A = this chain, B = another copy of it.
Amino acid sequence: MCQLFALSSSAPTAVTFSFTGFSARGGRTGEHVDGWGIAFHDASGCRVFIDERRASDSPLAEFLRNNPIRSRIVLAHIRKATQGQVHLSNCHPFVREWKGRHWTFCHNGDLGDFQPRLNGDFEPVGSTDSERAFCWLLQELRARFGASGRPGWQQIAYALAELTPRVAAHGVFNFLMGNGEALFAHCATDLTWMARRHPFPRVKLVDHDLSINLSEANRTQDHMVLVATEPLTHGETWTRFSRNELKVLVDGAEVWSSQAGAAIASVLPARGDLADAIAA
């Protein structure tokens, strides 16, 4: 199984501290040695770094640990290959453009028998079940919203809440998806989250002998949500997602969540009022 990490933040934030702990799982404290990757969304811009080497001793990972890139949405992945060989084309995050945005995607799990019909709108480059699932999700989103303007996160959230169980029926489907506006995080089996805000504590990495006083790295008005397969820090409260929970994070806060089969536990009005809400 792979490891996931993500950040949604109210202001552009460097993740060098978190990435130092996370990347240690790619060979040093974890057995995830089959490549890694990280995506930084910066408004419409997006930078993705991938490497088929171990994250714990990759020169590129070392560069990123030492050169902060500030971003409001970050997704990262370290890989333990289950489907698809060790190759750059199989490293997450995967990226596609749709509706003039970069969409990024990381997956933890196994969807071996998920073989959807792909119509050519989005096709896998590599050979993973993960990229296949990502292409199918985008294809289905395009089928719903292709003829209209750019959908907001609310519309994407409703669509993903409907589409995700259809993939998850084929295996384990923990995933992160980012599009520059929002971060979508789905837990099938393993995902935790943590809201970080003033007063910021002193914390220590789980995977590395490194501590930081977060009040020195953040301003009082800053706030963010971190998501990871397993907690990254001591000194903060990480909470497990519910099973089959989909969360939407925007600007460092949870704005929506749902559970498959359950009523949508939302901060939004009911579906019929969605158009009004989006225009507001």
Contact = CB atoms under 8 A, between A and B. Distances in A.
Interface stretch (A39-47, A75-83, A164-172, A223-231): A39-47
A123 interface: yes
A100 to B, nearest CB: 4
Given A60-B67, A87-B45, A123 B96 contact: no
Contacts of A99: 120, 123
A52 B47 CA distance: 11
A141 interface: no
Interface residues of A, number: 34
Contacts of A88: 42, 45-47
Nearest to A91: B45
A97 interface: yes
Given A100-B124, A124-B100, A48 B45 contact: no
26 contacts: A42-B88, A43-B87, A43-B89, A44-B87, A44-B89, A44-B125, A44-B126, A45-B52, A45-B87, A45-B88, A45-B91, A45-B126, A46-B88, A47-B49, A47-B50, A47-B88, A48-B48, A59-B63, A60-B63, A95-B95, A97-B123, A97-B125, A98-B123, A99-B120, A100-B123, A120-B146
Interface of A: 42-50, 52, 59-60, 63, 67, 87-89, 91, 95-102, 120-126, 146
Which A-B residue pairs are the 5 nearest by beta carbons? A45-B88, A45-B89, A100-B123, A44-B89, A63-B63
